[in-house]
Structures are given as structure tokens and as C-alpha cells.
Chains A and B, each alone.
Chain A
């Protein structure tokens, strides 16, 4: 073998420029010049062949003909007549496959940013039977738009990729991808699988249509579209209920058999995975997720989806902490992510999740191989890493029968490396369909090392270091001479040296090239100009440690918590059986305040409240002497823990969107509100439209995932809104959406509820058809928007109506009464004191602010006596926060009714406990401390409505979610972890700067009722009114936006 490796490299080098094998013509293209009948039979011999993960053959031969592998010969034999390529010393892997690419397809136009002077676009221009929403491109088969793109292909080939699954990455349903070769050929020759998976995301992309502008809007659109696709199929060939003809809809046609097509869904964090999983699950459609790199943060949840993943290797650059106090701007979560992101693939593997890698999302493709190795260094097995590049990727791209392995019958798509790809190896060439692409100029000769050579009778030691600048020394014992004029090309090294020190007068010039792995051969010219042959014998070296050793286990200094931020917990709190002793218990029930009282909690429920209770065996005893205990605070109106948009304020009626789809369990306000004694928060859609979205009640179970937060026993709710926000009074955008007046608000509400009644009638009529009629008749289309309204009419869904002024409140109740539904609870209801008798007559409840007023015209008649006044008139009244700030101190808000209008203290407490629970129809479970109810309670160190009260502990269903003592103890740990990570970043020097700069989760803003913002199109510009939020929060003005 010694003599052969040079030959191999020469042959390989030559191949780069010589096109051998088949030509660019396809079977159907007429030949105009000469027929190309070059032979295509090639045998790659003597190679180390990694045929598939875990299967490595030494000294094997790969036989290729007509672009395919025809044999892999373990006995290293080549067929007669094959052109032999000696690949001794090289490792051959299957070509890599990227299942998430936009190679070869045209890119979308840039969506124009919002301009306030331009009318908002509500409709999608219609053509070709397209969808009504401009973010739905499901009818597009991207193979129809495919072309070879040389530069783009090169970028993939350089990283070892030979095949991609490709579609335009634009919109929510993006059309069907095509799995293709990156070979340089006409598209006809490239297609491996013409119609592959449907790409999808939550991002509406280049669509300039208003809807959807929020994450929940996108999810609702997906739900409606999937439902429509199913309905479109069922309705084919049948008459519609109203006798009309089924429309042609290419987009819905394109979504038929979606489960068979496969869906590749791009996510921006691990919660997106669960959100998408849930909505597709409703239609039994499995999804493969394009990950974000955050999967490790909720790895059990990822595994529970039973989904495959495509993960980018875009590890983040460290946050910049070089300047003094720069760390003030850096979240601990970001520092943690910097440290742990490279371990994400290893975590996926350890969880048994199948995944492939993608180049997508890499800011610099040159980072791909280094990051791959980083992933390996962080514990990813090499076989798993290779599978992620080959076999797993092939499955996801739908080409596992023909790509991803080195096996007879498979495409001759290969990666040839020198050295171990997962350690320090380098890609030398990549083969597509049996043709080679040379990746880099060949540097086969490894000159670096130590040699013995004989010059003029002297035995000298030669040390050569190659690198950005080649250097070297000649030495003998302690005498050393630096080499001068060191020059190196692919296979020749030359230098000069003054050898006087060795007793050889003058400057000698040397030229050497590789003779074998053991020696260099060449010649030197002495000072007299005479040339002499020379042989430099390589000194034995230790085996390269990089290939031989498995990387040491990485030790992280960061914690991994739930959620993975500084205040996260190792695991959610566990319920305990316990007894509270010697407390002043405010029961919020008929029992009133009990002094010196005890409370027994078992299995998350209150068993007994009373005096002198004895401690059951095995129960935790909590001595609450001097403490006050109240029920956990219930907030009727909250916008915490919501991801990417609180308003789908684009259309006037968006009753289909669900806050429950976008609960964000990572929001630190959950913890902060716990620290203020709040245990239940009713998350509401904003107030940008008359009928907003469906609410979601949560318990503040810090550390749980989104599903774990949900207070599932709560009956469904919905947000409605009236007044200034709805009519866009303060929006500052071109106002062309109906309605713009309170008159129009009333009219459109009337119109939609009437329509919902007809909708329900149509569904009922269909259900009553006999079987024969039903077979002939298409089922009525399910319309999630109207369905939610029909649920209201059926009293299955309760309205929480944002409202301010007397006129609109009375009008809404009259409309409701006329159409036969009920306004369950008015929220804010600042002029409730003016119309309390009407509200009482209607049966409406009220949830108001303690003292907010004057921030806009419709709040200018608000009074801090409102709660008292409404209660006096028999309207059940609660106080709400509508604010992540106020939610931490609702006890003080309640105390204000004691201050302003002398409300009884227990009544005031009920306004933030029992009464909101009644408004949410959960008073049988929470809101008071009574036997049988959830053990949701708060320990205070003083009278709970006093300014001087401080929450000591907050419990939910017998589990302690906040403890001030523990909180105080944790602070030093958080600070220490932060400083250690800062040190690690600083210590990593410029290495830490390598990586993605835009790879940290953005903080969610503090959502307000009127935050109307297109989260997809426009982060920079927002409504004028919203701009005031920024100004106000900057100048620390309090309040004013509801």
C-alpha cells in the first residue's frame, strides 16, 4: 500500500476537471452534436467504506455505473473494464441529504412592510382556484418550478450534501417539496421524488393579507384549512345543503392525503412543536418538525409527540459580555443556551428521537462541519450523527429506498473524506450520480512532522510545522537553525537554511516531495551549486489523539430547569398532604375569618378547615402562627403567558382563535404573580375587535408545560370588546375596517350571531336527514368562527365583554337579549355604576379595575367607587388586573374599595377570590377555603389587604409553587451560575463569538389589551397607540392602556 496512496490522490485530483460518464442530455432531448458514449463504469478501490451507520468496510470496492452503485465488494475486487480509482487512505460515506431546503426553487418576493398611510389589505387576490388566504400555497408542486442552481448547489456540495428535499419556504402551507439531486444537470435528471412532503409553518411569510397577524391566528387558519380539506373531499360529487355547487379549490385539492404526503413543519421554539403537533393531531396527520435547537429544554415533551425532527446545527454565538456590566443585558437563559445548544442533538438521540440535520438556518455554512463535531463532542454518537445526515434524512425526504446508503441499487451519491469526518477529517470530494465534484485543491502530502535527514555527512533533525505560515527548524543536539523561504504547494516543499552552525558553511536549498508515508524524497543544493539527492525519514509519531479518543464528557456549569431560565425549577412542585396550624384563615366562605385555625389538605383538596384539628399521621405540619391564609387569588382578566400576539385584531370577528393554542409556560410573570399570591389567571384575547378569541384559564403551575398549566375544568369562554379599541380610535392606522363606530359594533355583532344561528340550523338539518339523503348531500362545512358563536348561543361558552361606557353596555345586552344569548361577565366595565340596574336585570356579572381612569376618553368617567356601586345594585363584581404588574398585588387593589367606599374587608377579598371564580364558573373548585375545594391558598405575614402584607408561600392543589424563603436562598445560586457562565464565555475568547447572532429566543413583550401587532410581517413598526407603550414604559409612567 505504501506506494499507492499518492496515485489515488492524483487520480482524484484529475477527476475534478474531467467530466466522465453520462452527459447532460436526458432521454428525450435530441442530440445535435456528437453522441457522448463515454464509459461510466468506475470502481473506487481500497477504500474504507461506511456503507451505512454502524457498517464500516475496510479495503472495499464500490462499483458505479450509469449513476448508480452496482456493487459494494468486500473482497475489494473490481469488475473488468472498470476505470479504477484507488481510494486507499480515504473514507467514503453516503452522500448527505438535507430534508429541509429551498434549493432550486424561486424565492418569494419581500413582503412590503406596513405603512400606516396605506389601506390595510384584507383579501387575497383570487386566481387559479387559490385559497382565500394568501399564506396558503398548498396547491403548488415545487418540482414544477425546479431548476439547477450552480452556486447554490456548490454551497451544499461543499458540506457533503448530494440530495435535498426542497420547496419555497414561504407561508403557512408552502406547497409540496421535491426531493432532488444536487448534480449539475437538467431538472429532468435531478428528480428523485417529484412530489415529496408538504412544507408548513406558522409564519405567513410574504403574504400581505392582514389575517393572520398572530400565532393563534395562524393556528386557527391551519385548523380551518385542514378541516376544509377534509370537507372538500367529503363534498365531492354531492349536492351542498343549500343546493349550490361545490366550488373548485386547488389549495384544498392540494391538501388531500396529507398524511401520505407528509408534513415538514418549521418551528421557532420547542413550544411551537407542541402547538403544531396538537392541531395536526386533531386531523390525525403526523408531522416531522424542523427544530429550533431548543428541543433539549423540553425533551420529554418532544419525545411524547412521537415525531421525527430535522434540526439545524446553528449553534449560537455567546452573548457579548466583554464590557463591564454588559451582562446586565444578558439573560441567564441565553448564557445557558450558548453552553448547551451544541448538546441538543445528543439530547434528541438520548431521548430516542429520530432526527436528521439540515443546513437550513446556518448563518455561515462553513460552520456546519465544525458544529457537527461540536455536537459529537457534546455526546452525540458518530453513528447517530451519520444517520442524521444519511439514512434518517433519506426517510424524511422519502428516498430511503434509493439514497442514504452505499449499497447496490442506490444512487452513486458519495462523500469522500480524508480522515474521520467526525473528528478532524476533511471532505475531499463529493460524488453525485457517479460524477465527482472536487471540493478543495488536493493537499495530500502531510509535510508536518519530524524527520531525520543527512546533509553533507551530518545527521540532522528536521521539524516542519504547516499552517497559515509554514515554518521549520533543522537541529542537532541543542543547536537549532530556523528554515527560511519555506514554500509549499500540493506536493512539494522547499526551503533554505544557513547551516554554518552545523559546520556546513553557507546556505543550502532543499526541495522535497512525498516518497511515501514514511519518508520525503528530494534534493538539496549546496553553496557550491551542486545538487544532491536526499531522503528525510519520518520519525514515528503518536497516533492522532482526535481520532483515537472519544471526547471527554462535557461538563456544564449551567442548570437545566423548567422553564430554562434563572427562576425555573428542577421539576414542578409536587402535592403533599399537610396541615396548616394556628393561622388566621380568611375562608371567603360563610365561615368568614377563623382565628387560630387549622386546615387539612389531602390529595390536593381541602379536607377540613376549623379550630383544634389534629395532625393526621404522615402529614406535613406547617406552623402558621401569626400568619394569615387566604384562598389563591383568581384574576378574571390577564394577558400573561401568551406567545406571539394577544390580538388577532385583523378582522372584526375572530372567534375561531384560541388563547389555549398559544399558552407560553416560560413567561416569568407566572412566577412573579405567584409571588403576589395569584394562583388562577384567565388569559384573554385582546380587545382589538368586537369578537376576539377564545379564552384560556390557567393555574400558575410554574414549571409545567402549556398543557400542564391549563385549568381544564373551566367552561369555555370568549372575549368580546366594545368601544375605542374595537373601532380603532387610537390605532393610527388607515381605518378601513368595519366597524368604526359604536353603531357599527352593535350591527356587526348582531349580524354574526344571526348568521351563527343559521349555521347551527344548517348543521342540525343535516343531522336530521335520513341516510339516503345524507349520502347525496354534502355535509355543511365546519366553520370554527361561527361554531364558537353557536356555542355561545347554546350557553356552552361564556362571554367576557371588554366594555367601558354606558351606551355600548346597554346596547350589547339588548342585542343579546334579542338574539337569545347572555353576556356572562362584563370586564373593565368602568361605567358599570351607571347601568348597574340594567346589568343586574340581564344577569350579567362585572369585573372592573380598582381605580384606573382618565387614560382615554372612554375611561374618563371611571370612578374608584365602581365596584361598591355595582355590588350595591346586586351585580356580582370582581377586580381584574389586565396587567402583569397589577397581577402581583391584587390584594392592594381590593383594599382600595375599603379605602374609597368602605367595602367590608371580606367582601373586598372575595372580589379577588370567590367572585372571579364564580364568574369563571369554577367556584365549586376554587375561590374559597372550604372542604372539597382545591387546596389553592396563600400564606401572608400580615392582614392580607394591608399595604404591609407580604406573601410567604403560595400553594396550588397542595403543592407549594412559591416560597419566599426558598426564593431568597435561590438568589445567590442564580448569581453564581451567571458569573460562572460569564467566566466561561470570557474564557472561550474569540471562540465564543463564533456562531449565530440571532439565535436567542426573544422575550415576549408585556401584552396589553390593545397591543395590535402583526407578529409575522412587522416587528419594527406598530400602531401609533402601541408606540406610546414604549414611550410610557420607558418613562415609567404607570398604567393607561386597556
Chain B
């Protein structure tokens, strides 16, 4: 107990001492020096259900879990009786660190010029000092996939931890996936659309052709490279090599049922594995997605129905339908500042039929798998990274969600942020 007090007061001191409320004045946590025991909590392991007991981590790794664990002599013990421990939440499909204020162009680093920009890589622009990021951590998110935006071949996303000095120490996995925005299908339903149906169809076909062309060229480059016949590098096709040797995933942003179908066919033709991102209509194809073993990053947990006649809860009930069909999925909250609502979005899916354990999986181990880091993140297991959070209660429900400790790779993360500082400042008034 005394350790926990000292830890807490250290955190508060750090916050109040550094109060010139400007820029991100939160200091990243330092490397774990001593073993830490979280004592007496409810451990939501995700991989092995709920465990009442202690959790020990050393040098940034979980070393023991259970009711009776051996504690090293020099361990700090934090009594968390009655509280819940979770693996750190992983937010997919975000623009954290590359978008600060959407209305201020100078702070927007999301879209490069051109339809085909596979060469761009988000972590190169990642601002670890973003004012937004500490507010995301505050709601239990330890890692985020940062995704470039664009209209066709966007570029590569990276997975970063959210407590770092710059992108070098933030980088958990660089260039995880190549992102493709699937061309529009069907008839635009936008009230602003002025093109005829025929014009729309033609434009859609042109985009699909451009996509196929891009992949054909990239594959030719890959073949030539393997044959040793590339004399001059092409930065674009270099970035796509991983798609053809299996080191980089293909993430296709597709919402409409027809987009998803086309993307699945395309992936088959290209012989690459695909992840569907967005997946608004994925419930319509749930059986097929399950049969093909295609994962979905569902990005519409609070979504409005896409069509006038659709059931009001279509988006809310989609995770439950995907789960029932056996689709492997993660829930995402695409955005930047609002990504902090990720846990609540998963909770909302529970209100509409998803079981609680799967909801938790969909923001922890589910995304870890899709990011290819499940050996390290996403669950409380011995040997995995000590990236975890302690919440006063159920983390998926805003009524009980209250993150009191966060560790990333064993480092204690400062939970203060600009917003809390402003609050406290004006409380002085």
C-alpha cells in the first residue's frame, strides 16, 4: 500500500510541478527498474478469462499471474483490490499524431497528393508531443495504429505506443499494412452528387482500373527485384514489396457490401491476404468473411444507418452479428481526439448483443492479432509486454471506467493531460 501511495503522489507531483500549460508537458515514463506486483485485482486476461489474483511484471514483461505468485524481494506492490486489470487497449484506424486540429491545415498530415502514394509512411510524421495523445491514454489506450488517408492507394500504417519522446521510441511495428481505399460502388446517395449514374459508373471503373494497374506494376517490380533485374529503385513499388512477400498486410477500407465483395475478389486475384477496414456492411457478408478467414476492423460502432430504411441499430448490432458468424474482428473508433471513446463503443456493442468477453477481445487481442503483435500485446499472459491498465471498474462502461494506472512495456505512464491541467487551473480561480 505504501508503494502505491508513493507512486500516486509521484505522478501527481510530476503533473503539478510542470504546470505551465502549454504544449505537451507530460514526461514519458522511464524504463521499469524494479519488479512490480499488482495485488488483489480482477485480472481480465482476455486470453484466459477472468482471474482473481496478482500480476507480476519485470523488465517490461509479465512474469507471473495468479492467486499465489512468488514476489521478488525488491518488488513494488500496488494494492489494487477491487479494481480491474486489462491489457492496454489498442486503437486501430486512427490519425493520432498526424492530425492535431482538423480545421487548421498546418496541423493536418493525413493526405498526400495523388491517388497512388504507397511510399508514405505515417510514423515519419508522428508527433509524439501531440496534445491529444495524453487524453487518449487517459481512457486506457496504450497503442494506436496510425493510418494515412487518401482516395486510392494511401500508404502504410504503423503501430505506435502512446507514451514516447518521438516516433523512434514510439514505434511498436513500422509499416504494418498498406492501405487501399476501395473505389466507390453503386449510386452515390449524397444529396450533393450531381453526376449521372453512368458518369458515376465510369468513374468507379476508372478507379478500379487504376488500382489494378498499380498492383500489376508493383508486382512486376517485385518479380524483377527477385530476379535481380531492378537497376533503379522506385520508392512507390519498394513500399509495396511486402505485399507480395507476405511481410505487409493489405488493409482495404470498404464499407458497402459491393465494395467488400470486390475487395475479397481482388485479394484472391492478387493472392494476398486482406483485412477489411470500416466494414459498415460486413454483417451482410459475415458468413463469407468467416469462411474466407478475413478479419474486419469494424469502424462504425456508433454508426448511423447508411440507408433510410435500415434498422436504427444496424451498426450497433453489427459486432454481435460478426461474432455469431465467427468473423475475427476488432472494433475501431476511427478519428483522432474522439478515439478515446473506443472502450465505450465496444460497450455499446454489448448493449446490442455482443458478449462482454468478445467486446473486450475486440479492443485488445483482436487488434493485436490484426497488427501481427499478438505474441507481445493484447492479453495478460506471462511473457507478454507489461502494457496494461488498471481501472476502478468495468472499462467498457463510462459509469465505471476510470483508469488509475497505465503501464506500457512496464513503464508507468503519467495520466495527466492538457485537459485535466486546464480544469485544475481554473479550479484555482
B429 x A326 contact (CB < 8 A): no
A756 to B253 CA separation, bound complex (whole angstroms): 54
Query: Which residues of B sit under 8 angstroms from A565, Cβ to Cβ?
Result: 308-309
A329 to B401 CA separation, bound complex (whole angstroms): 40
A320 x B197 contact (CB < 8 A): yes
B186 within 8 A of A: yes
**Of residues 396 to 429 in B, which have CB atoms within 8 Å of A's CB atoms?**
396-399, 401-402, 419-420, 422-423, 426-427, 429
Query: Which residues of A sit under 8 angstroms from B335, Cβ to Cβ?
Result: 1037-1039
B101 x A1039 contact (CB < 8 A): no
A854 within 8 A of B: yes
Measured between C-beta atoms, what is the minimum distance from A767 to chain B in Å? 47
B228 within 8 A of A: no
The interface bits of chain A over 687-723 (1 if a CB of B lies within 8 angstroms of the residue's CB, else 0) are 0000000000000000000000000000000000000
Query: Which residues of A sit under 8 angstroms from B169, Cβ to Cβ?
Result: none
Instruction: Using CB atoms, name the residue of chain A closest to B111.
Output: A1031
B299 x A1036 contact (CB < 8 A): yes
**Of residues 659 to 687 in A, which have CB atoms within 8 Å of B's CB atoms?**
668, 671-672, 675
A853 to B278 CA separation, bound complex (whole angstroms): 23
A21 to B189 CA separation, bound complex (whole angstroms): 57
B397 x A1030 contact (CB < 8 A): no
A898 x B398 contact (CB < 8 A): yes
Most buried by A among B101, B304, B313, B398: B398
A855 x B337 contact (CB < 8 A): yes
B399 x A1035 contact (CB < 8 A): no
A671 x B312 contact (CB < 8 A): yes
A672 x B192 contact (CB < 8 A): no
Instruction: Using CB atoms, name the residue of chain B closest to A1022.
Output: B192
A624 to B290 CA separation, bound complex (whole angstroms): 39
B26 within 8 A of A: no
Measured between C-beta atoms, what is the minimum distance from A1013 to chain B in Å? 9
Given A837-B429, A856-B102, are A1038 and B334 also a contact pair (CB < 8 Å)?
Answer: yes
Measured between C-beta atoms, what is the minimum distance from A905 to chain B in Å? 7
A298 within 8 A of B: no
Query: Which residues of A sit under 8 angstroms from B426, Cβ to Cβ?
Result: 833-834, 869
Query: Which residues of B sit under 8 angstroms from A668, Cβ to Cβ?
Result: 305, 308
B376 within 8 A of A: no
A978 to B192 CA separation, bound complex (whole angstroms): 25
B311 x A971 contact (CB < 8 A): yes
A701 to B205 CA separation, bound complex (whole angstroms): 44
| A947: contacting residue among B132, B303, B397, B423, CB under 8 A | B397
The interface bits of chain B over 384-398 (1 if a CB of A lies within 8 angstroms of the residue's CB, else 0) are 000000000000111
Query: Which residues of B sit under 8 angstroms from A834, Cβ to Cβ?
Result: 426
A833 to B299 CA separation, bound complex (whole angstroms): 33
| A950: contacting residue among B187, B257, B351, CB under 8 A | B351
The interface bits of chain B over 330-362 (1 if a CB of A lies within 8 angstroms of the residue's CB, else 0) are 000111111011001001101110000000000
B313 x A675 contact (CB < 8 A): yes
A860 to B299 CA separation, bound complex (whole angstroms): 25
Measured between C-beta atoms, what is the minimum distance from A939 to chain B in Å? 14
| A948: contacting residue among B95, B397, B420, B423, CB under 8 A | B397
A247 to B303 CA separation, bound complex (whole angstroms): 56
A863 x B399 contact (CB < 8 A): no
Measured between C-beta atoms, what is the minimum distance from A995 to chain B in Å? 15
A1002 within 8 A of B: yes
Instruction: Using CB atoms, name the residue of chain A closest to B150.
Output: A1035
Query: Which residues of A sit under 8 angstroms from B45, Cβ to Cβ?
Result: none
A837 to B423 CA separation, bound complex (whole angstroms): 14
Query: Which residues of A sit under 8 angstroms from B266, Cβ to Cβ?
Result: none
B312 x A326 contact (CB < 8 A): no
Instruction: Using CB atoms, name the residue of chain A closest to B253.
Output: A1035
A72 within 8 A of B: no
A1038 x B302 contact (CB < 8 A): yes
Query: Which residues of A sit under 8 angstroms from B187, Cβ to Cβ?
Result: 320, 326, 329
**Of residues 943 to 977 in A, which have CB atoms within 8 Å of B's CB atoms?**
943, 945-950, 967, 971, 974
Instruction: Using CB atoms, name the residue of chain B closest to A674.
Output: B312
A1038 to B280 CA separation, bound complex (whole angstroms): 14
Given A905-B399, A1004-B191, are A947 and B312 also a contact pair (CB < 8 Å)?
Answer: no
| A1019: contacting residue among B103, B192, B338, B351, CB under 8 A | B192
A711 to B389 CA separation, bound complex (whole angstroms): 47
A997 to B256 CA separation, bound complex (whole angstroms): 24
B338 x A1038 contact (CB < 8 A): yes
A857 within 8 A of B: yes
Instruction: Using CB atoms, name the residue of chain A closest to B337.
Output: A854
A885 to B426 CA separation, bound complex (whole angstroms): 31
B309 x A974 contact (CB < 8 A): yes
Given A892-B348, A896-B398, are A328 and B309 also a contact pair (CB < 8 Å)?
Answer: no
Query: Which residues of B sit under 8 angstroms from A857, Cβ to Cβ?
Result: 101, 103-104
Number of B residues near A (Cβ < 8 Å) is: 64
A567 within 8 A of B: yes
Instruction: Using CB atoms, name the residue of chain A closest to B392.
Output: A899
B103 x A331 contact (CB < 8 A): no
Query: Which residues of B sit under 8 angstroms from A472, Cβ to Cβ?
Result: none
A103 within 8 A of B: no
Query: Which residues of B sit under 8 angstroms from A328, Cβ to Cβ?
Result: 186, 256-258, 281, 307
Instruction: Using CB atoms, name the residue of chain A closest to B427.
Output: A869
Given A947-B350, A950-B351, A1036-B278, are A967 and B311 also a contact pair (CB < 8 Å)?
Answer: yes
A889 x B348 contact (CB < 8 A): yes
| B347: contacting residue among A948, A1002, A1025, CB under 8 A | A948
Instruction: Using CB atoms, name the residue of chain A closest to B104.
Output: A857
Query: Which residues of B sit under 8 angstroms from A329, Cβ to Cβ?
Result: 186-187, 189
Instruction: Using CB atoms, name the residue of chain B closest to A888.
Output: B312
B364 within 8 A of A: no
A884 within 8 A of B: yes
Most buried by B among A889, A901, A1038: A1038
Query: Which residues of B sit under 8 angstroms from A853, Cβ to Cβ?
Result: 337, 419
Instruction: Using CB atoms, name the residue of chain B closest to A1006.
Output: B304
Most buried by A among B305, B312, B347, B352: B312
Given A865-B420, A899-B401, A947-B397, are A1030 and B190 also a contact pair (CB < 8 Å)?
Answer: yes
A724 to B103 CA separation, bound complex (whole angstroms): 10
Query: Which residues of B sit under 8 angstroms from A948, Cβ to Cβ?
Result: 347, 350-351, 397
A38 to B186 CA separation, bound complex (whole angstroms): 65
**Of residues 302 to 326 in B, which have CB atoms within 8 Å of A's CB atoms?**
302-305, 307-309, 311-313
B103 x A855 contact (CB < 8 A): yes
Measured between C-beta atoms, what is the minimum distance from A753 to chain B in Å? 30
Given A837-B429, A860-B101, A1035-B253, are A946 and B397 also a contact pair (CB < 8 Å)?
Answer: yes
B255 within 8 A of A: yes
B39 within 8 A of A: no
Measured between C-beta atoms, what is the minimum distance from B362 to chain A in Å? 14
B300 within 8 A of A: yes
The interface bits of chain A over 1006-1042 (1 if a CB of B lies within 8 angstroms of the residue's CB, else 0) are 1000000000000110100100101010011111100
Instruction: Using CB atoms, name the residue of chain B closest to A330.
Output: B187
A943 x B399 contact (CB < 8 A): yes
A730 within 8 A of B: yes
B302 x A863 contact (CB < 8 A): no
A895 to B341 CA separation, bound complex (whole angstroms): 12
Given A855-B101, A863-B422, A1003-B191, are A1038 and B312 also a contact pair (CB < 8 Å)?
Answer: no
Other A-B pairs, 5, CB within 8 Å; known A328-B186, A901-B423: A328-B256, A851-B341, A857-B103, A869-B426, A1039-B337
Interchain Cβ contacts under 8 Å between A and B, 15 examples:
A329-B187, A332-B308, A671-B312, A854-B337, A865-B423, A888-B304, A895-B398, A945-B399, A946-B399, A947-B348, A948-B347, A1030-B192, A1035-B253, A1036-B255, A1036-B278
